[in-house]
């Protein structure tokens, strides 16, 4: 039986002191000249077929696992701290609002009633002073008339 084996050869590199300069040719996938293409068409030709999730998944391979673990731990810690802060703030706000409603509202209503009662008493006092002032003025006027008649 005859075995066919592949032979491996190493090719030495060639040293080229000055690479030749090549002319720059614009690459275009379109058979039309650039003047015939509108901006919207050229943008649609340039958009890749990858989605954002495909690109983010590709980043997973670029970032080393240790860096990803540190980043994940940092983001998780930050998220948990923010969630606890928001939860505590919401519960504190609930306690403050219910306390104000349960204690402050009845106090405000009682204070308003007391103010109304004091205002009514002041008005009654002014009315009685006004009536007594009219009566005393009327009595002084009657006494002056009677003295003049005597």
Q: Share the mean pLDDT of the chain.
A: 78
Report the pLDDT averaged over residues 112-124. 95
Give percent of the chain above pLDDT 90. Answer: 37
**Residue 29 φ then ψ, to 5°:** -85, -10
Contact (CB, 8 A) for 30 and 37: yes
pLDDT band at residue 92 under the 50/70/90 scheme: very high
Return the domain boundaries, the chain: 62-145
User: Which residues are CB-neighbours of 30 under 8 A, at least 6 positions away?
Assistant: 37, 45
* C-alpha dist (Å) from residue 5 to 1, 9, 88: 13, 13, 74
> 3-52: per-residue pLDDT in tens?
666 666 676 666 556 655 666 666 666 655 555 555 555 555 556 678 88
Distance, in Å, from the CA atom of 105 to the CA atom of 141, rounded to the nearest integer, reads: 54
Distance, in Å, from the CA atom of 116 to the CA atom of 118, rounded to the nearest integer, reads: 5
Q: What is the pLDDT of residue 75?
A: 96
Q: What is the pLDDT of residue 8?
A: 65
DSSP at 35 = G
Distance, in Å, from the CA atom of 6 to the CA atom of 74, rounded to the nearest integer, reads: 53
Distance, in Å, from the CA atom of 135 to the CA atom of 142, rounded to the nearest integer, reads: 10
> Considering the entire predicted model, what is its pTM?
0.40
């Amino acid at each position: 039986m005859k075995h066919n084996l592949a032979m491996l050869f190493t090719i030495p590199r060639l040293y080229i002191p000055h690479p030749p300069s090549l002319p720059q040719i614009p690459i275009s996938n379109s058979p039309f000249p650039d003047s015939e293409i509108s901006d919207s068409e050229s943008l649609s030709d340039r958009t890749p077929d990858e989605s954002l999730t495909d690109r983010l998944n590709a980043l997973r391979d670029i970032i080393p696992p240790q860096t990803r673990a540190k980043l994940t731990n940092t983001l998780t810690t930050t998220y948990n701290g923010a969630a606890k802060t928001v939860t505590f703030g919401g519960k504190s706000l609930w306690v403050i609002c219910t306390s104000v409603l349960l204690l402050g509202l009845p106090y405000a209503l009682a204070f308003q009633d007391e103010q109304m009662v004091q205002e009514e008493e002041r008005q009654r006092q002014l009315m009685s002073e006004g009536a007594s002032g009219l009566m005393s003025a009327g009595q002084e006027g009657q006494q002056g008339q009677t003295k003049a008649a005597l």
